[in-house]
Amino acid sequence: MKGMPRNAEDARYRLQIAALELFTQNGFDQTTAAQIAARAGVTERTFFRHFPDKREVLFGGQEILSAALTASIRQAPADLAPIAVLRRAFADVTQLLEDNRRFSEPRQHIIAANPALMEREVAKHAALVGVVAGALQQRGVAPARAAFAAQAGMAVLGHALDLWFADGTRPLSQCLAEAFAELDLFVTPGHSA
Amino acid sequence: MKGMPRNAEDARYRLQIAALELFTQNGFDQTTAAQIAARAGVTERTFFRHFPDKREVLFGGQEILSAALTASIRQAPADLAPIAVLRRAFADVTQLLEDNRRFSEPRQHIIAANPALMEREVAKHAALVGVVAGALQQRGVAPARAAFAAQAGMAVLGHALDLWFADGTRPLSQCLAEAFAELDLFVTPGHSA
């Protein structure tokens, strides 16, 4: 977190690790903020300085992804088409996502197992699609077209992440290339399933 | 509603019209179920026989769309690729959507003006994408690929609806063709914005 001292960043990181371990072991509903704090070796007060509740421990990473995507979209060459801008942005965040896999993979399982978390994930994802669409609009893309590109693009990223989680051996960059290739196949009418 | 007598269907229809008129005139928050029932010329009890609350009046149509899409997906020729199955399904529901425009257009404005309704719309839309993905899976499409096709396909439908609402003169079928053509442009790398 920007502007936080190094030991605060460490505490935040330890809290995230501890939360994922406890959620995975005991279930999300059975885990308390106090237990997470204890496992991370910090006070409950420190927990609540970093996260408003135990749920938000699972969603902190999305702000970082959102900021990285919008920064890349802003910096893309002016003549690139919307989906090419997004392809470039996904390449720019690949390392960030690779570095984050030890969080994002267990996180995905925890969220999929809990309808309330799933609902929150859906809302957060929609917000992220909205942010990406807004960043495209700031490049002069018309609102409807920006929304569409953001939805289609984020569907590609989501599919790439699915492929990546399903197969522990391939780098994310390869899964992204495969997902874009599938989008290509989709638009070729009459192609066999 | 299947199995309901004709006058019950009429009441439901009148309730939907009355709700849209009142929400548009006075705002969603300022409108009560009792007022909707009064305007539709039915009792409040009749209102609650059709809808659990005033919010659900706005979301009843999605079940019909969901059923029509899944029926078409089920009946599509076995050798069609996922996106071709969806292209066909969208063509199959075009008349339904055209007939429903007098509801869906004001509905869209009411929902866009209210964050709580927007959140519900996002959740309902995600559920619809899930239903479409499930219907594709039943055709033998792998889960990750089915989810991706459903997301990309529903983004196309959403974009077509945006274009259609923005321009009162073109039929939905033409907006759908344009949205699919844009998806085509998107996947052509280096194409100019």
Instruction: Note the ipTM here.
Output: 0.75
CB contact under 8 Å between A87 and B190, yes or no, is no
Check residue A182 and give its pLDDT.
86
Q: Compute the nearest-CA separation of A99 from chain B (Å).
A: 23
Nearest chain B Cα to A143, which residue? B162
Below-70 pLDDT ranges, chain A: 1-6, 8, 187-193
Check residue B1 and give its pLDDT.
47
A176 contact residues in B (CB cutoff 8 A) = none
pLDDT band at B102; cut points 50, 70, 90: confident
Give yes or no for a contact between B97 and B108, defined as CB atoms under 8 angstroms apart. no
Nearest chain B Cα to A182, which residue? B145
Give yes or no for a contact between B147 and B132, defined as CB atoms under 8 angstroms apart. no
Interface size, chain A vs chain B, as Cβ–Cβ contacts under 8 Å = 120
Reported as a single tens digit per residue, the pLDDT across B141-183 is: 999 899 999 999 999 999 999 999 988 889 999 999 999 988 8
The DSSP symbol for B27 reads -
Check residue B63 and give its pLDDT.
86
Q: What is the pTM of this model?
A: 0.81
Task: Judge whether residue B193 has pLDDT over 50.
Answer: no
Question: What residue type is assigned to position A62 of the chain?
Answer: Q
Q: Which residue has the tokens 């990546």?
A: A164
CB contact under 8 Å between A81 and B193, yes or no, is yes
Determine the Cα–Cα distance for residues B185 and B193; give it in Å rounded to an integer.
10
Name, in order, each residue with C-beta under 8 angstroms of B138's C-beta and a sequence gap of 6 or more. Answer: B74
Determine the Cα–Cα distance for residues B162 and A118; give it in Å rounded to an integer.
27
Q: Which residue has the tokens 């089915």?
A: B146
B155 contact residues in A (CB cutoff 8 A) = 148, 151-152, 155
Which structure tokens are listed for B15?
Answer: 């309730």
A151 contact residues in B (CB cutoff 8 A) = 151, 155, 158-159
Which residues of chain B are at the A interface, by a Cβ-Cβ cutoff of 8 Å?
A: 79-85, 87, 119, 122-123, 126, 139-141, 144-145, 147-149, 151-153, 155-156, 158-159, 162-163, 166, 179-180, 182-193
Which residues of chain A are at the B interface, by a Cβ-Cβ cutoff of 8 Å?
A: 79-85, 87, 119, 122-123, 126, 139-141, 144-145, 147-149, 151-152, 155-156, 158-159, 162-163, 166, 179-180, 182-193
Determine the Cα–Cα distance for residues B146 and A190; give it in Å rounded to an integer.
17
B152 contact residues in A (CB cutoff 8 A) = 152, 155-156, 183, 186
Nearest to A165 by CA among A96, A111, A106, A91: A106
Determine the Cα–Cα distance for residues B96 and B86; give it in Å rounded to an integer.
16
Task: Judge whether residue B5 has pLDDT over 80.
Answer: no
Task: Judge whether residue B49 has pLDDT over 60.
Answer: yes
Which structure tokens are listed for B122?
Answer: 């996002």
Check residue B60 and give its pLDDT.
82
Q: What are phi and psi of A192, to 5 degrees?
A: -75, 145
Check residue A43 and give its pLDDT.
96
Give the residue, B22 or B184, on which the prediction is more confident. Answer: B22
Taking the CA atoms of residue A170, residue A176, residue A179 and residue A184 in that order, the dihedral angle to the nearest 10 degrees is -130
Per the prediction, chain B carries an average pLDDT of: 90
Q: Compute the nearest-CA separation of B175 from chain A (Å).
A: 12
B147 contact residues in A (CB cutoff 8 A) = 158-159, 162
